[in-house]
Amino acid sequence: MSEQEQVLFASINNCCYFKLCGELRYTNATGMDDLIERLFSTRIECAQVVIDLNQATFIDSTYVGLLAGLARYCQQQQLPKPTLFSTQSEINELLFGLCLDQAFQIIQQPTTVPPDNLPGGTLPENTTDIATQSYSEQQQGRMILRAHEALIALNDKNKAEFQPVVNLLKQQLK
């Protein structure tokens, strides 16, 4: 049986903290996508982004693309590179393989290392469990497309790998 995906979020002292747990797949990414969209529309004050993947057991390309979109948001807002914690070797191999180290400060340590503005580096007490949103098939397709476009924007290697997926999605969404 697969581990249930869980997205926890807190905003403390303008630091947006994400804790992503379990299997992170496109089929359960709608809550994360909705939260990122709210960040992009500046309904959440955010001067720094910290992502904790230490309890993630699997991450697919759509979720990696959502993370790339978060990094793009930080760059557009002239924020520091987001910090990403991950001690999972398979996940780290994927993150480095897709060049997310260009967009994130990746720390391969447990989150007991205190990130700025998060005392003790522990999970803030006032985290919100972000629920999966009800997306239509069209909305989910657009989310997957946006995520893969964010991956392509990172570098030419990703473009070569994911351009066929993007082209197919664009064709299907017409």
Q: Which domains does the chain have, with CATH numbers?
A: 6-134 (3.30.750.24)
Task: Report the Cα 139 to chain-centroid distance in Å.
Answer: 18
Q: Specify the DSSP element, H or E, that contains 2.
A: none
CA pseudo-torsion sign 20, 166, 97, 47? negative
Q: Specify the DSSP element, H or E, that contains 5.
A: none
pTM metric for this prediction: 0.87
Helix (H, G, I), strand (E, B) or coil at 158: helix
Per the structure block, which two tokens stand in for 158? Answer: 């990703």
Per the structure block, which two tokens stand in for 166? Answer: 């993007």
- Measured in degrees and rounded to the nearest 5, phi and psi for residue 82 equal -65, 150
* pLDDT, tens digit only, all 174 positions of the chain: 346 778 999 888 888 999 999 999 999 899 999 988 888 787 678 889 999 999 999 999 999 999 999 999 899 889 999 999 999 999 999 999 999 999 999 999 887 644 454 444 455 567 788 888 899 999 999 999 999 999 999 999 999 999 999 999 999 998
Q: DSSP states of 89-143 as a string? A: HHHHHHHHHTTGGGTSEEE-S-TTS--TTSGGGPPPTT-EEEPPP---HHHHHHH
